[in-house]
Structure 1
Amino acid sequence: MAGLFDPYTIKGLSLKNRIMMSPMCQYQANTDGTVTDWHFVHYGARAIGGIGLIMLEASAVEARGRISRHDIGIWSHEHEAGLKRIVDFGHQYGSKMAIQLAHAGVKAETDEPNVAPTALSHFERYAVPQELTVGEITQIVGAFATAAERAVRIGFDTVELHGAHGYLINQFLSPLTNKRTDEYGGSFEKRLRFALDVIQAVKGVLPAEMPLLLRVSATEYSNEGIDIHEMVKMVAAFKQAGVDMVDCSSGGTLPVAPPAIYPGYQVQFADAIKQGADIPTIAVGLLDTPALAEEVVRNNRADLVAVGRGLLRNAHWAKVAAQELKVTFELPNSYARAY
């Protein structure tokens, strides 16, 4: 069975190891959504550190879709040069580069009114949003496709749709936040429609060999919300529409915490979706202990392991993990003397 430091290939994407840098907002972008030197250094350091797949943080497909005023954007040509500089540098050190395409919906914090499937907010910090019209929904679907085209042109190796944590795609999926009575809400099938429209639109502009990733909240920690059983059914539909791999997180729709948080607490979701929907998965959630990350891959509970906080603490996390697991792993010569 393959381990954490074995290569992995899905369609035309070949990774040198099975470590993914989890997408983590840095809140360091310029107010027009362009990246800064912070992003270049931040992501570049992790490429030098040998990460197989570096997933850039949530990048908004339109200005009003930013989580904050200092989030990365990918809705304009003005965003391309800075992103390309990061991608090209990452490629120099053998990392594959990905970007998470996002729209925050009701959870946006910009100067524009928030939008959502329904005029409803579960969070005190967010204003009640404007309910999207069908025409506006179509425009946002197009914005996702345009952003994906831009990502391909920049040179990203794959893209991930952010369908988790109570952001716009998740808002359409969830019965907690989608109270529509038209073709985009109500039944299970209608709640899927926006996500399926986005998937099909994005898939239509990606090269055939480029995999499409999707991040989901496998459970919303509410008896009235999505649970893992419903999410497996959703992922089966997403797979049929063109999703190639699922990044398995949880929560975010409501201001509630999981009942218990511990290393590996979300691996069960990656495992259940991998087996139940027969699709490759990425495990997340406090997986920065090398032995645990290795266990997840060795036991085929997920295909990749996403490391977040561990890579914030140490850009060379992969080297430390390799030493602990007694695997040969070389950093650039400039850093060799450190080990």
Structure 2
Amino acid sequence: MAAHAKFRLRTAEELRDEASRLGLEIPYEEKTSVLLEKASVAGRSVPNRLAVLPMEGADAEADGAPSEWTFRRYRRYAAGGSGLIWCEATAVRRDGRSNPGQLMLTEKTLDGFGKLADEVRGAAKKEWGPAHRPLLVLQLTHSGRFSKPEGTPNPMIVQHNPYLDPLHGLPADYPLVSDGELEEVRDELVAAAELAAAAGFDGVDVKACHGYLVAETLAAFNRTESRYGGPFENRTRLLLETVRLIRQEAPGLLVTCRISAADTVPFPFGFGMDPEAPETIDLTETKALVSLLARAGVGFLSVSLGIPYWKPHFGRPFDEPVPGGKPPKEHPLEGVARHLRIASELQRSSPGTALVGAGYSWLRTFGPGVGAAMVASGRTAVVGLGRGALAYPDFAKDLAARGRLDPRKVCTTCSLCSHLLRQGRRTGCAVRDAEVYGVS
């Protein structure tokens, strides 16, 4: 493990040299045309292999409907040319909102979401022509232990966790969510999926990452006498039941998940960790989950890592932590390599599932070269940017036009977008879109 360092790479050769010095495998391909080729994702045609990953904007109306700020972000993504636009976390009920500005899909807000889907498609068509139709996925969630619907913590927890409970000062007798309440959330996820179909989305994501409610059930080793805790079959039950019910009730809708391949919280309080070495990632159960999801009809997955409130560098390698945070005791390129290694291992274990990879934003202009090498070698199907897309919504357009990204437009991994979100403020890139999101 090397010391943390900021991005200083000027050429692909320097990237290769730094990876070699650190003993890391970072594949790289000069030609990035493979990313611009049409592809099939879960039987649907997508214009290219580039994705906008879900990043919350915290800019919804009070009732959860998209605001003009929401429309602005997604119009920019659509005009930017990415083939897959994975819309951000959208609550299915008020107590599951992560902040008062989180999107929420209900009967009342359905028209707003329909307008959002229409405007995304309209902006893409206007810029790229009628043949360019991005795949549009809406991420559905309950924020669980990280719920703050009124701006203050209101956790719904699946189990007590000595690593995560202290984040909100939860006492040992804080009540756990009941099985019946979990089933209510399941049914509301299904109902919201039906609304998403009515609004015109191509698919929905049952969010199962980053420690939120569904994800926490995957790690509920210590939840006893429950249908949703203990053995693997029980811990995967809520997610699989939800997926199957959505496919039953909305048969024309694609169903996918964004999963954390590993929580990075030590076993037995985190998913994807080694029972024999509790702080070490072990993908045994993750591979089994991907296989079960495939059998349930999930043809593509977005793969993330970690819990942002625990050790954020696992999910998003960065130059700067959020204000007041500390840099990790590893080089960001180690975090990038971890993302690539995990995506490769999962893709190879489930070749019939199209994996959407993450962790590319820290690479700046070298992200497409690394992504192209991953796709060309069959180690991932689609390359996604989260923070990178907030900063540079037209990254796909520039890559198509110039064969490279503009270094003046890339994400600087300064963590200010995360800072804005944690403050409950409207969230975007404070560097590249400073007139709207500048931090004072």
- Secondary structure, in 3 states, of the residue corresponding to 1:214? strand
| Structure with max Cα Rg | 2
- Measure the CA separation in 1 of the matches of 2:403 and 2:299: 29
Residue 155 of structure 2 is matched in structure 1 by: 114
Give how far 1:326 is off: 7.5
Give how far 1:264 is off: 5.2
Question: Do structure 1's residue 62 and structure 2's residue 93 form an aligned pair?
Answer: yes
| 2:107 pairs with one of 63, 77, 99 | 77
Change in CA separation of 1:114 and 1:144 when aligned onto 2, cut-off 3 Å = same
Change in CA separation of 1:3 and 1:141 when aligned onto 2, cut-off 3 Å = same
- Measure the CA separation in 2 of the matches of 1:324 and 1:2: 11
Residue 342 of structure 2 is matched in structure 1 by: 269
Give how far 1:324 is off: 4.6
Range 316-325 or range 135-144, more displaced: 316-325
Q: List per-residue Cα deviations over 1:90-121 (Å, max 9, x = no partner).
A: 21223232110111111111248421222557
Letter in 1 for 2:388: G
Question: Do structure 1's residue 242 and structure 2's residue 297 form an aligned pair?
Answer: yes
Residue 40 of structure 1 is matched in structure 2 by: 71
Does the aligned pair in 2 maintain the 1:290–1:324 contact within 8 Å? no
5 Å-filtered alignment, 1:167-186, equals 167-175=212-220, 179-186=223-230
Change in CA separation of 1:313 and 1:113 when aligned onto 2, cut-off 3 Å = closer
Residue 336 of structure 1 is matched in structure 2 by: none
Letter in 1 for 2:119: F
Change in CA separation of 1:180 and 1:260 when aligned onto 2, cut-off 3 Å = farther
- Measure the CA separation in 2 of the matches of 1:95 and 1:127: 43
Question: Do structure 1's residue 147 and structure 2's residue 192 form an aligned pair?
Answer: yes
Does the aligned pair in 2 maintain the 1:123–1:254 contact within 8 Å? no
Letter in 1 for 2:136: M
Give how far 1:21 is off: 0.4
Letter in 1 for 2:115: R
Q: List per-residue Cα deviations over 1:277-298 (Å, max 9, x = no partner).
A: 3322110112452212222211
- Measure the CA separation in 1 of the matches of 2:202 and 2:95: 26
Residue 332 of structure 1 is matched in structure 2 by: none
Give how far 1:260 is off: 4.9
Does the aligned pair in 1 maintain the 2:301–2:355 contact within 8 Å? yes
- Measure the CA separation in 2 of the matches of 1:323 and 1:214: 32
- Secondary structure, in 3 states, of the residue corresponding to 2:285? helix
- Measure the CA separation in 1 of the matches of 2:176 and 2:337: 37
- Measure the CA separation in 2 of the matches of 1:127 and 1:250: 24
5 Å-filtered alignment, 1:128-143, equals 128=170, 130-143=175-188
- Secondary structure, in 3 states, of the residue corresponding to 1:59? strand
Give how far 1:308 is off: 1.6
Give how far 1:221 is off: 2.1
Letter in 1 for 2:340: V
Letter in 2 for 1:106: R
Give how far 1:2 is off: 8.1
Change in CA separation of 1:130 and 1:33 when aligned onto 2, cut-off 3 Å = farther
- Measure the CA separation in 2 of the matches of 1:260 and 1:161: 32
Does the aligned pair in 1 maintain the 2:229–2:235 contact within 8 Å? yes
- Measure the CA separation in 1 of the matches of 2:103 and 2:310: 24
Q: Percent identity?
A: 25
- Secondary structure, in 3 states, of the residue corresponding to 2:103? coil
- Measure the CA separation in 2 of the matches of 1:2 and 1:159: 28
- Secondary structure, in 3 states, of the residue corresponding to 2:66? coil
- Measure the CA separation in 2 of the matches of 1:123 and 1:234: 26
- Measure the CA separation in 2 of the matches of 1:264 and 1:7: 26
- Secondary structure, in 3 states, of the residue corresponding to 2:86? strand
5 Å-filtered alignment, 1:1-339, equals 3-74=34-105, 76-92=106-122, 93=124, 94-111=133-150, 113-120=154-161, 122-126=164-168, 128=170, 130-175=175-220, 179-208=223-252, 210-224=253-267, 225=270, 226=272, 227-252=282-307, 255-256=310-311, 257-258=313-314, 260-262=331-333, 263=336, 265-278=338-351, 279-287=353-361, 289-325=367-403
- Measure the CA separation in 2 of the matches of 1:167 and 1:99: 16
- Measure the CA separation in 1 of the matches of 2:349 and 2:42: 21
Does the aligned pair in 1 maintain the 2:66–2:116 contact within 8 Å? no
Structure 2 residue runs without a partner (length 5+): 1-31, 125-132, 273-281, 315-329, 406-440
Does the aligned pair in 2 maintain the 1:2–1:298 contact within 8 Å? no
Give how far 1:232 is off: 0.6
